[in-house]
Amino acid sequence: MLRFAPPLALFVLAVPLACGLMGTILPAFGFLPALGGHRLSTEPFADLFAQPGLWRSAIQALMIGLVTTAISLAMVAGFVCAWYGTRAFRLIQHLVSPLLAVPHAAAAFGFAFMIAPSGYLARLFSPWATGWDRPPDLLIVNDPAGLALIAGLVIKEVPFLLLVTLAALPQVPALRSLRLSQSLGYGRMMGFMFTAWPALYRQIRLAVFAVIAYASANVDVAFILGPTTPQTLPVRLVDWMNDPELSMRFMACAGACLQIAVTAAALLAWLALERIAGPLAESICETGRRFRRDGVARLASGAMMATSALLVFGGLGVLALWSVSGLWQFPSTLPDTLSWRTWQRTGPALSGPLATTIIIALAATAISVAIALACLQRENETGRTGGNRALALLYLPLLVPQIGFLFGLQLMLIAGDADASWAALILVHVVFVLPYVFLSLSAPWRAYDRRYEAIAAALGASAARSFWRVRLPMLLRAVLVAAAVGFAVSVGQYLPTLLVGAGRFPTITTEAVALGSGGDRRVIGVYAFLQMLLPFVGFALATLVPALLFRNRRAIRGL
């Protein structure tokens, strides 16, 4: 039975991807019999390139991908190099880690509520410092250069890159390299940068690529924080795809092909940057400069990290506050009155999307955890890990822009009359949930001391008994954490739910994004609060269940 697990995982990940790409490329060249496209043509591309401001949108998507990744990586690298092995490192690590679970849209709304002209930061400093007694007329959110969008993406990508780096750190002799370079007279920050970071970067490279792909093709955050005239390419594509005029879909698919090219160009540009940065760092290293006075740089890197985390936490707090605020005039820092009115008013409309969100997330997570467990157990039996090729395959759904294959997948599902079904929706969530579940579960699973299994077998336990009675209970916490990660990923999915659900399966996330940053702040507060509450409940359960179950077992209860 377990023999079929790895091929099943491959099937679940690769088939939607391949079908989706195919289903995007064919209509882009005019072939889509269901909508009357019977022969190949380049007309959809001609239509696409005739759109006003198209190149601006495309180049902006490319730049946003690159700049977001560069800033996020620089922040994480600077922080790890400057602070690894200190108490401050652990403190900030604990501060930043939970942010991974916050859905992008909720973080983006929170960020908008912080930085907007009438947002919380302006209120904090008004009127005593700024002199404003009404919101200034500034375009901060949705600025044409996309700075708010970049910042909103950075604060969410930093926790991701930091966690990936933390997972890679044990595989690198980081502390010894640091001590060695320090004893040779190097400053802490550059000592680590020269000796440990290159090996660390090789380990996290795929994750960096995933950030480039995500940031260059993102829809939901761009919709909330991004420029409006014109919008970035991915947002415009989704508009076209959802246009009631069905013939627009040919052009949307051509646009999705352009998006794939944009993301590919961003990845290629990054590879070129790597080529430049590597030798540059080497030549600096060869000068033998010790960079011993790095106090200011270290402080700055720590402060940036903490600020980024506090902005998200602050934003989430402000969201929660708005959801229960009555009258809240500018520039008051706190609402004049508190009330449950918004919750009562939106309550009836909430329950449907809430149930849909939970059902899809639970099902996708259960399927993903089962597949991941089966694959890992198979690996345990055969002693073969899939190696780097399997890892690249796992990352594949995270490296291809979602739009690139979701458009095609939606068209194929419509053709097969299977769109807007629970099964299709859950399976498309699995495509995005499974990689995260697998990546989260594989490290503790492989680190497990196999002598326990030798003992169980020697005591007469079959492989199945040993799995269910010994290994699984001992790794229960890791399994539940992986499940919580998967649950959070599913809750945060916007585009797959929107497209494959054909709008008939509204979830908390699709409803929240649809409100946009210009909507009623109290209602946005309610939706975004629920969006962050769900993952939080998942992680709380992942901590509490083992703590209760094993409350008399000190070695593994975890709390």
Partner 1 sequence: MTDPSATHQTGLRLDNVAIALGSRTLVSVDHLIAPGDVLTVMGPSGSGKSTLLAFIGGFLDPAFSARGRVHCNGIDITDAPPQARRAGLLFQDPLLFPHMSVGGNLVFAVPQSVTGRAARRTHAADALCDVGLDGFFDRDPDTLSGGQKARVALARVLVSDPAFMLLDEPFSKLDAGLRDQIRRLVFERARARRLPVLLVTHDAADAEAAGGALIELAPAASDGNGP
Residue 6 identity (one-letter amino acid): P
Q: Would you give the DSSP letter of residue 242? A: T
Residue 120 found at the interface with partner 1 (CB under 8 A): no
Binding partner 1 (rule: CB under 8 A), the pick from 45, 201, 436, 550 is 550
Phi, psi for residue 325 in degrees, rounded to 5: -90, 145
Q: Under the criterion CB under 8 A, does residue 244 sit at the interface with partner 1?
A: no
| Two tokens, residue 19 | 């079908």
Cα dihedral: 494, 496, 497, 502 (round 10) = 130
Segment near partner 1 (CB under 8 A), from 239-247, 271-279, 519-527, 550-558? 550-558
Smallest gap from residue 86 Cβ to partner 1 (A): 30
Residue 245 main-chain phi, psi, to 5 deg? -75, 105
State which of positions 202-231 bind partner 1 (CB under 8 A). none
Q: In the complex with partner 1, which residue's Cβ is closer, 391 or 474?
A: 474
Cβ closest to partner 1, residue 4 vs residue 452: 452
Cβ-based nearer residue to partner 1, 296 or 458: 458
Q: Residues 68, 157: contact at Cβ < 8 Å?
A: yes
Comparing CA positions, the residue from 80, 385, 94 lying closest to residue 204 is 80
Helices then strands, each counted (H, E), the chain: 25, 0
**Nearest approach, Cβ of 450 to partner 1 (angstroms)?**
8
Alpha-helix residue ranges (DSSP H) falling in 333-401 = 341-382, 387-399
Beta bridge partners of 338: 325
**Residue in 229, 283, 287, 552 binding partner 1, rule: CB under 8 A:** 552
The answer to whether the peptide bond before residue 230 is cis (omega within 30 degrees of 0) is: yes
Instruction: Please say which residue, 299 or 544, places its beta carbon nearer to partner 1.
Output: 544
As given in the structure block, the two tokens for residue 353 are 């999307």
Measured from the CB atom, the residue of 348 and 383 that comes closer to partner 1 is 383
User: Judged by CB, which is closer to partner 1: 38, or 451?
Assistant: 451
- Tokens of residue 323, six digits: 């959801």
Beta carbon nearer to partner 1, 94 or 450: 450
Which tokens hold the place of 141?
Answer: 């959110």
Instruction: State in angstroms the smallest separation of the CB of 470 from partner 1.
Output: 6
- Cβ atoms of 226 and 208 within 8 Å: the answer is no
Site for partner 1 in 354-383 (CB under 8 A): 383
**556 makes contact with partner 1 (CB under 8 A):** yes
Binding residues for partner 1 restricted to 440-499, rule: CB under 8 A? 449, 451-463, 469-470, 473-474, 476
SS in 3 state form for 60-108? HHHHHHHHHHHHHHHHHHHHHHHHCCCHHHHHHHHHHHHHHHCCHHHHH
Contact call for residues 30 and 41 (beta carbons, < 8 A): yes
- What's the closest the beta carbon of residue 451 comes to partner 1, in angstroms? 5
Q: How far is the CB of 376 from partner 1 (least distance, A)?
A: 17
Tokens of 234: 């991915």
| Cβ 373 to partner 1 shortest distance, Å | 17
User: Cβ of residue 455: shortest distance to partner 1, in angstroms?
Assistant: 5
In the shown chain, the binding pattern of residues 381 to 400 toward partner 1, with x for contact by CB under 8 A and - for none, equals --x-----------------
* Beta bridge partners of residue 32, listed in sequence order: 37
Round to whole Å and give the CA distance between 294 and 98: 29
Instruction: Please report how close the Cβ of residue 479 comes to partner 1 at its closest, in angstroms.
Output: 13
- Under the criterion CB under 8 A, does residue 554 sit at the interface with partner 1? yes
Q: How far is the CB of 549 from partner 1 (least distance, A)?
A: 8
C-beta of 263 vs 377, nearer to partner 1:
377
Q: How far is the CB of 466 from partner 1 (least distance, A)?
A: 8
For partner 1, the closer CB: 475 or 523: 475
* DSSP E strands, 379-525: none
| Binding interface with partner 1 (CB under 8 A) | 383, 449, 451-463, 469-470, 473-474, 476, 550, 552-556
